[in-house]
Amino acid sequence: GMGNKKREINAPLIVVSNRLPFVLGKNADGELVRKQSAGGLVTAVAPVVVECKGTWIGWSGSFDLKPNDPIPESDPEDKAPTAGLKSSQIIPVHLDKTEIEEFYNGCCNGTFWPLFHSMPDRANFVSRDWKTYCKVNDKFADCTLDALRDAIKSLDDAGDHQTAPLVWIHDYQLLTTATKIRQVCEAENLRCKLGFFLHIPFPSWDIMRLLPWDDQVLQGMLAYDFTAFHIEDYCLNFIDCCCRRLGCRVDRTNMLVELAGRTIQVKALPIGIPFDRFVQLSEKAPAFLNMSEDVKVILGVDRLDYTKGLVHRILAFEKFLDKYPEHREKVVLLQISVPSRTDVKEYKQLKDETELLIGRINGRFSMPNWSPIRYIYGCLSQEQLAALYRDCAVALVTPLRDGMNLVAKEFVACQIRTPGVLILSPFAGAGGTMHEALLVNPYELDEMANVLHRALRMPLDERELRMTQLRHREQLLDVNYWMTSFFSSMGALSDGGGDSDAN
């Protein structure tokens, strides 16, 4: 609310995620330094951890950091949201090569990722990988417990024997971390509040039951006081699984699950983006496209992942060129594919398949001065992305399945000039709220071609109307709103005496 005091988090905060909020790597002189990582989660949560002097626990993402190495302080020039994080606030979890292979490549990205995206044919069930997953999750739990004991001691020393520190654990890499934390807390009588957020979809019982260790995963997710997902569908899937696999008593209306005499609150909290930051970026970003005025750019930006529907998208674009030849030489599909999980077989295969397909289509349609598809396999800076989002005519966001999809939201935030059109898959979490986008089933290639044709011919006033509403919603429901809602749902916000409750 306007003019009201800001509500602040009322307990020590410990954030736990697979990756630390920055990447560690060696610079030209061989020194270990922090490198920026661009995610919206980091942008929102890091400043809060700085402000409340909290702790962040995660894997350094690098074999260069050895167990007793100090975490480097941030560069004085550093302007990243993590710059204010002192190294004393960071607890690195060390993973060796075998753990990365079995935990990260094997179980996280070879089992849970495909299964939770409802692609069970791509999932491997390897009991050695699952064992390592549990072991690594216990490692994360041990680090969290150390931080928790420290936090409780500081509170006790200050005469506060009431406040319970808040532990916030993130995503599918850490599904069983809370099991050990709760066990030890009960045994040693440590006070804490445990919260979880899943950043990917949660599948239906029909899919979940394929997992040989479904009971242990569900129990892990019920070791929290509060468990949140992007959308209501994922919440209801989870509640259904708890009911059918574990026989829990559940209340679907109020989203409650009972296990061993405890009640766990479930809630849908759709994540947003740092909207104003993307607006600022797009206001100052120099043009990155220098194409002739009468060539329109259709933009795709994704991690190179089979859930993103890239092959379907490119085949639909080919259909579009066949069916509507008037667009030849007038449009370009610019696809940015960000390298991801390159040691996992499915990802290697996708790279080859994509490159082959683009080569074939470019060979088929190219003219001396025009090719239909431009393809970048690599990372762009935030500023370059903002310029592309701002200057393209159409954004194609067509995942086969996606927890939320932030590209759709970043695109509308950057549309500060002549508005373009968002084409969006209903199978992304974002498809449930961004109603003014053109929604299309990515498996229906013909429909995708038609929708692309419609988008390119959409009159300016209709584009304006749709984009204004899309931007308004994302500005309101940004990543800060999401984070505040999470803390508020956990009862972890001080009463600022105002009406600024995000719920």
Q: How far is the CB of 320 from ligand G6P (least distance, A)?
A: 29
Give the residue from 48, 49, 14 showing the smallest Cα distance to 165. 14
Q: Is 45 helix (H, G, I), strand (E, B) or coil?
A: helix
Q: How many Å apart are CA 456 and CA 493, to the nearest integer?
A: 46
Site string for ligand G6P, 18-37 (x = CB under 6 A): -x------------------
- Asked if 450 contacts 483 with a C-beta cutoff of 8 angstroms, the reply is no
Answer for which of 7, 308, 312, 341 binds ligand G6P (CB under 6 A) is 341
| Residue 340 lies near ligand G6P (rule: CB under 6 A) | yes
Report in angstroms the alpha-carbon separations of 102 from 57, 162, 215, 343, 476.
20, 40, 20, 12, 41
Q: Is 386 helix (H, G, I), strand (E, B) or coil?
A: helix
| Residue 171 lies near ligand G6P (rule: CB under 6 A) | yes
Q: Are strands 373-377 and 331-338 parallel, antiparallel or unpaired?
A: parallel
Catalytic, 161? Answer no
- Asked if 492 contacts 166 with a C-beta cutoff of 8 angstroms, the reply is yes
Q: How far is the CB of 44 from ligand G6P (least distance, A)?
A: 14
Q: Kindly tell me which of 131 and 199 has the beta carbon lying closer to ligand G6P.
A: 199
| Residue 199 lies near ligand G6P (rule: CB under 6 A) | yes
Exactly one of 146, 150, 199, 240 is catalytic; name it. Answer: 199
Q: How many residues does the chain have?
A: 503
Q: How many Å apart are CA 281 and CA 288, to the nearest integer?
A: 13
Q: How far is the CB of 70 from ligand G6P (least distance, A)?
A: 24
* Residue keyed to tokens 């929604």: 439
Total number of residues that touch ligand G6P (CB under 6 A): 6
Q: Is 378 helix (H, G, I), strand (E, B) or coil?
A: coil
Region 226-285 residues binding ligand G6P, contact defined as CB under 6 A:
none
| Residue 214 lies near ligand G6P (rule: CB under 6 A) | no
Q: Is 336 helix (H, G, I), strand (E, B) or coil?
A: strand
The two tokens of residue 300 are: 């795709």
Q: How far is the CB of 340 from ligand G6P (least distance, A)?
A: 6
Q: How far is the CB of 201 from ligand G6P (least distance, A)?
A: 10
Catalytic, 501? Answer no
Question: How many other C-beta atoms can be found within 10 angstroms of the C-beta atom of residue 482?
Answer: 23
Distance of CA 149 to the CA centre of its chain: 29
Q: Kindly tell me which of 341 and 466 has the beta carbon lying closer to ligand G6P.
A: 341
Q: How far is the CB of 263 from ligand G6P (least distance, A)?
A: 27
Q: Kindly tell me which of 200 and 239 has the beta carbon lying closer to ligand G6P.
A: 200
Exactly one of 129, 305, 402, 478 is catalytic; name it. Answer: 402
Q: Kindly tell me which of 23 and 279 has the beta carbon lying closer to ligand G6P.
A: 23
| Residue 163 lies near ligand G6P (rule: CB under 6 A) | no
- Asked if 353 contacts 318 with a C-beta cutoff of 8 angstroms, the reply is no
| Residue 200 lies near ligand G6P (rule: CB under 6 A) | yes
The two tokens of residue 223 are: 């070791």
Q: Which positions touch ligand G6P (CB under 6 A)?
A: 19, 171, 199-200, 340-341
Active site residues: 199, 402
